[in-house]
Amino acid sequence: MHTINVKPPEVFQALADSTRIRIVRLLAETREVACLCELVDSLLEPQYKLSRHVKVLRQAGLLSAEKEGRWVYHRLVEGIPYLDRLHEALKALPDVDGSFARDLENFRGRMCLREAGRCRIGIQTPELAAGGE
Amino acid sequence: MHTINVKPPEVFQALADSTRIRIVRLLAETREVACLCELVDSLLEPQYKLSRHVKVLRQAGLLSAEKEGRWVYHRLVEGIPYLDRLHEALKALPDVDGSFARDLENFRGRMCLREAGRCRIGIQTPELAAGGE
DNA sequence: TGCATAGTTGCATGTTAGCGCATACATGCG
DNA sequence: CGCATGTATGCGCTAACATGCAACTATGCA
C-alpha cells in the first residue's frame, strides 16, 4: 500500500511549499504523530488548507495516515534510505526568522493538552477551523 | 556572493523537476565539474533547456558557475550542512528504470573527450544544440 | 435519531512554471 | 574585423498549483 513506485520529482515537489515543509519539519524534529487539529493549532493555518497539504505529502509517500475515531493521525514514513536522509536535510535547515521555533513551541504546547497520549479536543482557534484569520 | 539567505521552499522547488534532478544527481554522484555542452551530451536534452534549468539550480543556491573562456563550468555547492545531506538523499535515490545509469554512462564517456581536464569540443549531438530531437 | 465536530473535497481564480522557437550575447580565432 | 561557437534569454503558449469559499462526509455522543 505504501510507495512502491518512487518518483523523485514528486517527492521534492511535495516539499516545494513552505506550509508543507513546516509540517514535515515538525514531524521530523519531534518524531511525533499528529492529528490535523493539532497541526492547525501549531501552524495556525486554516484546516482545509492543511488537510490538502497533508494529502499531497501522503500521495508523495512522505507521510502515512491512520484513522482513529474522528481523528486522523499523521506520521513520517521512515525506514526508506532516501527519505531518512531527506529528513536529516530538513532537520539541518536553518531557521533564520525563528518561525520554525514558533511552530515547534506551539506544537509542544499543544501536545500537553493530550489525554492518555491522544488528542481529545478539537481546534482551539475556531476562526481557523473553516479558514480566515 | 553565495546563498546567504536560505529559502527552503526554493531549494526543494529547484529539485521538483526531473531534468534538474538528473543534473544535480550526476554532479553529486561524480563530484565533477561540467560545462553546459557536456551536460547536453550526457542528458541528451536541448541546450536552451539545460541552460535554463542550470540557472534555476544556481539561483536556488545548489550550483555555482565559473566561466572559463567560452565555457561555463558548473559544480555542486558543497560544505553547507543541509545541502550536503540533500546530496546524500539524492545519491540514495533508487534508479528503477535505469535512466540515471544511462546519464551516468553518457557523462563518463563524455568526460573521456576532455583534453587536459577541460572541454575542448562543443555539443556532439547537433540537433540538440538548438532544440528538437 | 439528531447534533456537534474532525476532516475532506468541488469549484473558481490568480499565479507560477516548463517548453519550443528564435534570437541575442560573449568569446576566441583567422 | 568578422565569423564560428558556447551559452543565455525574451516571447507566447499551455499546464499545474495554491488558495478561499462553501458544501459535503464521517464519527461519536446525548
CA distances from A13 to A40, A42, A57, A108, B121 (A): 22, 23, 9, 28, 35
pLDDT in tens for each of the 133 residues of chain A?
444 567 889 999 999 999 999 999 999 999 999 999 999 999 999 999 999 999 999 999 999 999 999 999 999 999 999 999 999 999 999 998 999 999 999 999 999 999 999 999 989 986 665 554 3
Chain B residue numbers with beta carbons less than 8 Å from the beta carbon of A8 are: 15, 18, 21, 93
Provide the pLDDT for residue B131.
Answer: 52
Provide the pLDDT for residue A132.
Answer: 40
> 3-state SS of chain B: helix, strand, coil percent to 5?
50, 10, 35
- Among candidates B89, B67, B76, which has minimal Cα distance to B27? B76
Provide the pLDDT for residue A133.
Answer: 37
Q: How far is Cα B75 from Cα B23, in angstroms, rounded to an integer?
A: 10
The reply to whether A67 falls in a domain is: yes
Cβ-based interface (< 8 Å): residues of A facing B: 5-6, 8-9, 12-13, 15-18, 21, 81-83, 85-86, 88-90, 92-94, 96
Chain A residue numbers with beta carbons less than 8 Å from the beta carbon of B9 are: 15-18, 21
Q: How far is Cα B39 from Cα A2, in angstroms, rounded to an integer?
A: 34
Q: Which helix (H) or strand (E) holds B67?
A: strand B63-68
Cβ pair B95, B101 in contact under 8 A: yes
Find the domain containing A76 and state its range: 8-113
Please give the tally of structural domains in chain A: 1
The reply to whether B27 falls in a domain is: yes
* Residue A115 backbone phi and psi in degrees, to 5: -120, 125
According to DSSP, the residues that pair with A63 across neighbouring strands are A76
CATH number for B28: 1.10.10.10
The reply to whether A131 falls in a domain is: no
CA/C1' separation B55–D11 (Å): 18
The reply to whether A55 falls in a domain is: yes
CA/C1' separation A69–C17 (Å): 40
Provide the pLDDT for residue B133.
Answer: 36
Task: Determine the residue of chain A that is closest to B10 in CA distance.
Answer: A16
The reply to whether B33 falls in a domain is: yes
The reply to whether B133 falls in a domain is: no
**Low-confidence residues of chain B: pLDDT under 50:** 1-3, 132-133
- Among candidates A57, A91, A22, A4, which has minimal Cα distance to B89? A91
The reply to whether B127 falls in a domain is: no
The reply to whether B120 falls in a domain is: no
